Structure 1
Amino acid sequence: MNNFTFYSPTEFVFGKATEAQTGTLVKKYHGTKAMIVYGGGSVVRSGLLDKVKQSLTAAGIDYVELAGIQPNPTDPKVYEGIELGRKEHVDFMLPVGGGSVIDTAKAIAIGIPYEGDFWDFFIGKSVPQTGLPIGVVLTIPAAGSEGSGNAVITKLDGLRKLGIRTPEILRPVFAVMNPELTYTLSAWQTASGITDMMAHIMERYFSNTQGVEIADRMCEGVMKAIVNEAPRVMSEPDNYDARANIMWAGTVAHNGTCGVGCEEDWASHGLEHEISAIYDVTHGAGLAVIFPAWLTYAAKHNVGKVAQYAVRVWDVPESDDLQAVAMEGIARFKAFLHSIGMPVTLRELGIENPDIDLLVRKFHEDKGKVAGNYVHLDSQASREIYELAR
Structure 2
Amino acid sequence: MQNFIYDNKTRIIFGKDTETQVGEEVKQYGKKVLLHYGGGSIKKYGLYDRVVASLKEADLSVVELGGVKPNPRLSLVNEGIDLCKEHDIDFIIAVGGGSVIDSAKAIGFGAKYEGDVWDFFTGKEQITNTIPLGVILTIPAAGSEASTGTVITKEEGLYKRSAGSLLIRPKFAIMNPEVTYTLPDYQTSCGACDMFAHVMERYFTNESDVDFTDQLCEATMRTIIKQSKSAIEHPNDYAARAEIMWAGTIAHNGLLGTGRIEDWASHVIEHEISAIYDIAHGAGLAIVFPAWMKYVYKKDVKRFAQFANRVFGVELDLNNLERTALEGIERIKLFFKQIGLPTSLKDAGIDSDRLEEMAKKATENGPFGNFVNLDEDDVLNILKLTVE
TM-score, normalised via structure 2 length: 0.98
* Residue identity (%): 49
1:389 aligns with 2:386: yes
The secondary structure found in structure 1 opposite 2:274 is: helix
Distance in 2 (CA, whole Å) between partners of 1:205 and 1:234 is: 26
1:346 touches 1:354 (CA, 8 Å); kept in 2? no
AA matched with 1:13: I
Conserved in 2, the CA contact under 8 Å of 1:97 and 1:139? yes
- 2:343 aligns with 344
| Separation in structure 2 between the aligned mates of residue 353 and residue 208 of structure 1, nearest angstrom | 32
Give the Cα–Cα distance (whole angstroms) in 2 for the partners of residues 111 and 352 of structure 1. Answer: 36
Q: Map Cα deviations across residues 3-55 of structure 1 (whole Å, 9 max, x no partner).
A: 11211001110000000000001013x23111000112101111111111110
In structure 2, C-alpha distance between the alignment counterparts of 1:151 and 1:354, rounded to whole Å: 29
1:218 corresponds, among 216, 223, 238, to: 216
Residue pair 2:39, 2:69 contacting (<8 A) in 1 also: no
Task: Say if 1:276 and 1:282, in contact at 8 Å, map to a contact too.
Answer: yes
The 8 Å contact of residues 94 and 100 in structure 2, kept in 1 or not, is answered as yes
Aligned to 2:285: 287
**Matched AA of 1:83:** D
Q: Which residue of 1 aligns with 2:368?
A: 371
CA contact (8 A) 1:302 1:375 kept: no
Distance (Å, rounded) in 1 between the aligned partners of 2:355 and 2:103: 29
Residue of structure 1 in register with 2:257 after alignment: 259
Q: Is the 8 A contact 2:127 2:164 kept in 1?
A: no
* Amino acid in the other structure paired with 2:377: Q
Determine the structure 2 residue equivalent to 1:90.
89
Distance 1:104 1:32 in 2: 21
Q: Are the equivalent residues in 2 in contact too, given 1:107–1:151 (CA < 8 A)?
A: yes
Match of 1:14 in 2: 14
Instruction: Tell me the distance in 1 between the aligned counterparts of 2:22 and 2:30.
Output: 11
| Equivalent residue letter for 1:57 | K
Give the stretch that moved more between structures: 309-318 or 181-190.
Answer: 309-318
Q: Is the 8 A contact 1:23 1:59 kept in 2?
A: yes
2:161 counterpart SS class:
strand
Within the alignment, does 1:180 sit opposite 2:178 as a pair? yes
Residue aligning to 1:23:
23
Say if 2:308 and 2:328, in contact at 8 Å, map to a contact too: yes
Q: Is the CA contact 1:142–1:194 (under 8 Å) kept in the aligned structure 2?
A: yes
Q: 2:237 aligns with which of 236, 239, 247?
A: 239
Q: Secondary structure at the match of 2:340?
A: coil
Q: Deviations over 1:321-341 (max 9, x none)?
A: 121111000111111111100
Deviation at 1:354, TM superposition (A): 3.9
Mark the runs of 5 or more structure 1 residues left unpaired by the alignment. Answer: none
Partner Cα distance (1:116, 1:327) in 2 = 49
Deviation at 1:297, TM superposition (A): 0.7
The one-letter code sitting in structure 2 at the alignment partner of 1:50 is: D
Match of 1:325 in 2: 324
Match of 1:230 among 222, 228, 236: 228
1:5 matched to which residue of 2? 5
SS in 1 for 2:146: coil
Describe the SS at the equivalent of 2:363: helix
SS at 2:34 equivalent = strand
CA contact (8 A) 1:298 1:306 kept: no
Q: Secondary structure at the match of 2:145?
A: coil
1:171, CA displacement in angstroms? 0.6
Distance in 2 (alpha carbons) for counterparts of 1:60 and 1:40: 26
Deviation sequence 1:52-110 (CA, Å, 0-9, x none): 11100101111100011111001100110000111011110101000000000000000
**TM-score normalized with structure 1 length:** 0.97
Q: 1:304, CA displacement in angstroms?
A: 2.6
Check if 1:360 corresponds to 2:359: yes
Q: Which amino acid aligns with 1:370?
A: P
What whole-Å deviation, never above 9, does each CA across 1:362-388 have from its counterpart, x for those lacking one?
1111xx332101112112211111011
Deviation at 1:300, TM superposition (A): 3.2
- 3-state DSSP of counterpart to 2:342: coil
Q: Give the length in aligned residue pairs.
A: 386
Q: 2: CA distance between counterparts of 1:374 and 1:113?
A: 36
RMSD of aligned residue pairs (Cα, Å): 0.9
CA distance in 2, matches of 1:126, 1:305: 37
Determine the C-alpha separation between the residues in 1 that align with 2:215 and 2:200: 12
Gaps of 5+ in 2: none
CA contact 2:33–2:60 (8 Å) conserved in 1: yes
Give the conservation status (yes or no) of the 8 Å contact 1:233–1:243.
yes
Deviation, structure 1 residue 301: 3.4
Which aligned pairs between 1:153-232 and structure 2 lie closer than 5 A? 153-167=152-166, 169-232=167-230
- Residue 157 of structure 1: CA displacement? 1.5
Structure-2 separation of matches of 1:34 and 1:73: 20
